[in-house]
Amino acid sequence: MAVGIRHCTVRFMELESSSLMKCSLSSSPLYRKQSVHFSNSSSQRYNQCCSLSMNGCQGDSRDPIGTVETRTLPAVSSPALAMERLNSAISDMIKSDPPPYNSGIIRLEVPIEEQIEALEWLHAQNHLLLPRCFFSGRRVASEMCINGASSHSKLVSVAGVGSAVFFTHLRPFSLDDWRAIRRFLSKKCPLIRAYGAIRFDATADIASEWSAFGSFYFMVPQVEFDELEGSSIIAATIAWDNAASWTYQRAIDALQATIWQLSSVLITVQKKNPHSHILDSTHVPGKASWDNVVKRALQIISRNDPVLIKVVLARSTRVVTAADIDPLTWLACLKVEGENAYQFCLQPPHSPAFIGNTPEQLFHRDRLSICSEALAGTRARGGSELLDLKIEQDLLSSAKDHNEFAIVRECIRRRLEAVCSSVLIEPKKAIRKFTRVQHLYARLRGRLQAEDDEFKILSSVHPTPAVCGYPTEDARAFISETEMFDRGMYAGPVGWFGGEESEFAVGIRSALVEKGLGALIYAGTGIVEGSDSSLEWEELELKTSQFTKLMKLEAPLLTRGQNRIINQNQKVQRA
């Protein structure tokens, strides 16, 4: 091994168990759900792609990994030099005796003395037919200590191609699956992380467009680019587990094959509107069906003894364009207006890319500290500072929006109290502004009773009333009965598990994209007493406009979203 490599090694002890939380649905569907066939993928192809590398769910989740290591090589000045150094280190590993463990995970990393955008590095790998991921946290993200160093560096975004180990299954995400992921992670190797997403409703049938994702999909990238504040890191990870029929030799051969295919020439991602012409767009449900479902929801909500107080209904918009939609170009455009939001991309093999620009945090755990957010109520931004302030005041004083927001905030508070010794809400109600919209917002902080209670946290907090409704099971049942499409990972947890930290956003303001085959754009809105189906439809238009604005689109599709802004401005002016 090259001189100057720093080592960080850990052995795992068996994780504690906790009870598996379950949910149930009732009633038969009123509508047939519609599927979109993005490709010719099938369950057979799905099983084939799983055999290309190691599915960590196939090992024994209770058997500790033999070794977890991070090896840091000396810093270099460019990505090309970093790749040379990685290649040399991997060659040394091939020549050396294999580690004396039946399982393990080793991360080799090379610091780069320059901050380079992770998304640009990922864009340079567009020629690869490999799974990929991207996750960009908020600019206000907390400082994280890299590999135990005394200095602190902020991790801006992460891009990855290939999977050293992935985790997926058709059955719902379980405690054993969480344990399977956690056994590859360590507090002493904080940048070994599993990035992925979980379905909104794991009990619903999986439509063809979501088949490659399974009920959940997480991956530890085989090759990863970390963008830090002021510097970068390129890393390669080898994971093996003889019990899962993936030996050290197979893992290192697969890594070398991926390394040889990588491009070290950075390609700038287009960050201005690509102006693709829309050939066709179809909403599911259409406006008439939407009106009927909202009417039925309001009838249930308005009963003297309602079983439903709030339900979040969603819409899928299929868009076909004249030119290919590159998911990374879309993501770069979303990133420009994404301050205080999360950007993500997750693409299993032979699959569309799930991308998004979501404002909503599900939870962030840092050791025993945990925080979450309540976000509800939506208004457009004003065209001037004065108008924007008037719209803000209208949102703050709206009884209907306060009711919707209070439901979300109090439900999250109760769920955090189930796993925390204390919970603080500060602020209790404020405005969070984004480029195109503004919402009511509260921040909740708590202290966990046990550090390894992540599965319990995830099971407790998801789904929030902001994406499902309240009471949760009644709202979920209504969604299952009435929605005519598969939400898949839309509105589900999207993020990462790490050894000492984990962070998940809610997968809203998102789309499923595949080159040559268009996109499915998702949006939802909360229905409570006082909701108006036409205004809620216009809110859907406003939320999807961050995607549709990237295309050359004449009146009909954007007009309604623009009308929402005009109507809201007129309403404020009249007030």
481-496 pLDDT, tens per residue? Answer: 999 999 999 999 999 9
Span 506-514, average pLDDT: 94
For residues 552 and 162, the model is more confident at: 162
Residue 338: what pLDDT? 63
Same fold, 54-140+151-260 and 277-341+359-553: yes
**Per-residue pLDDT for 320 more than 80?**
yes
Mean pLDDT of 6-30: 37
pLDDT of residue 184: 97
CATH of domain 277-341+359-553: 3.60.120.10
Predicted confidence (pLDDT) at residue 553 exceeds the cutoff of 90: no
3-class SS at 488?
A: coil
- Distance, in Å, from the CA atom of 254 to the CA atom of 250, rounded to the nearest integer, reads 6
Q: Choose between 158 and 150: higher pLDDT.
A: 158
Average pLDDT over residues 449-459: 85
Q: Is the dihedral of CA 568, 571, 573, 575 positive or negative?
A: negative
User: How sure is the predictor about 514, in pLDDT bands with cuts at 50, 70 and 90?
Assistant: confident
573 membership: H or E segment, kind and range: helix 555-574
What are the tens digits of pLDDT across the range 45-100? 333 333 468 999 998 888 999 999 999 999 999 999 999 999 999 999 999 999 99
Distance in angstroms (rounded) separating the CA atoms of residues 416 and 403: 20
Enter the pTM of the model: 0.86
Question: pLDDT tens-digit profile of 117-141?
Answer: 999 999 999 888 899 999 998 764 4
The most confident of 3-7, 152-156, 343-347, 545-549, by mean pLDDT: 343-347
Strands 68-72 and 6-10, bridge-based pairing: antiparallel
Going by C-beta distance under 8 Å and a sequence separation of 6 or more, which residues neighbour residue 308?
297, 300, 301, 469, 470, 471, 474, 475, 478
Q: What does the mean pLDDT of the chain come to?
A: 84
Q: How far apart are CA 483 and CA 499, in angstroms?
A: 37
Q: How confident is the model at residue 463 (pLDDT cuts 50, 70, 90)?
A: very high
**Domain 54-140+151-260: which topology?**
Anthranilate synthase (3.60.120)
Least confident of 190-194, 234-238, 286-290, 446-450: 446-450
Phi, psi for residue 241 in degrees, rounded to 5? -160, 105
pLDDT at 232: 96
More confident residue, 273 or 148: 273
Name residues whose C-beta falls within 8 Å of residue 221's C-beta, 6 or more positions apart in sequence. 133, 158, 159, 160, 161, 162, 163, 164, 195, 237
What CA–CA distance (Å, rounded) separates 214 from 299? 35
Distance of CA 543 to the CA centre of its chain: 17
Torsion of CA 181, 182, 188, 189, to 10 degrees: 10
pLDDT category at 559 given cuts 50, 70, 90 is very low
The per-residue pLDDT for 84 is: 93
**What pLDDT, on a 0 to 100 scale, did the predictor assign at position 274?**
57
Instruction: Look up tokens 């990863």; give the residue.
Output: 224
- The pLDDT, as a whole number, for residue 569 is 41
Q: Residue 43's pLDDT is what?
A: 37
Note whether 74 and 39 are within 8 A (CB): no
**Across 491-506, average pLDDT:** 96
In the chain, domain spans:
54-140+151-260, 277-341+359-553
Backbone angles phi and psi of 16, in degrees to 5 = -75, 155
> Is the pLDDT score of 11 beyond 50?
no
Query: What pLDDT sits at residue 564?
Result: 37
How far from the centroid of its chain's Cα atoms is residue 282's Cα?
25
pLDDT of amino acid 269: 73
Band of the pLDDT at 391, cuts 50, 70, 90? Answer: very high
- Cα–Cα distance, 343 to 354 (Å, whole number): 11
Strand-pair partners of 238: 106
Q: Longest Cα pair distance anywhere in the chain, in angstroms?
A: 77
Q: Which of 239-253, 428-442, 559-573 has the weakest average pLDDT?
A: 559-573
Instruction: Provide mean pLDDT across the span 461-481.
Output: 94
Amino acid identity of 432?
R
Kindly list the distances between the CA atom of residue 573 and the CA atoms of 10, 382, 383, 396, 430, in Å, as whole numbers in the listed order: 62, 11, 13, 16, 22
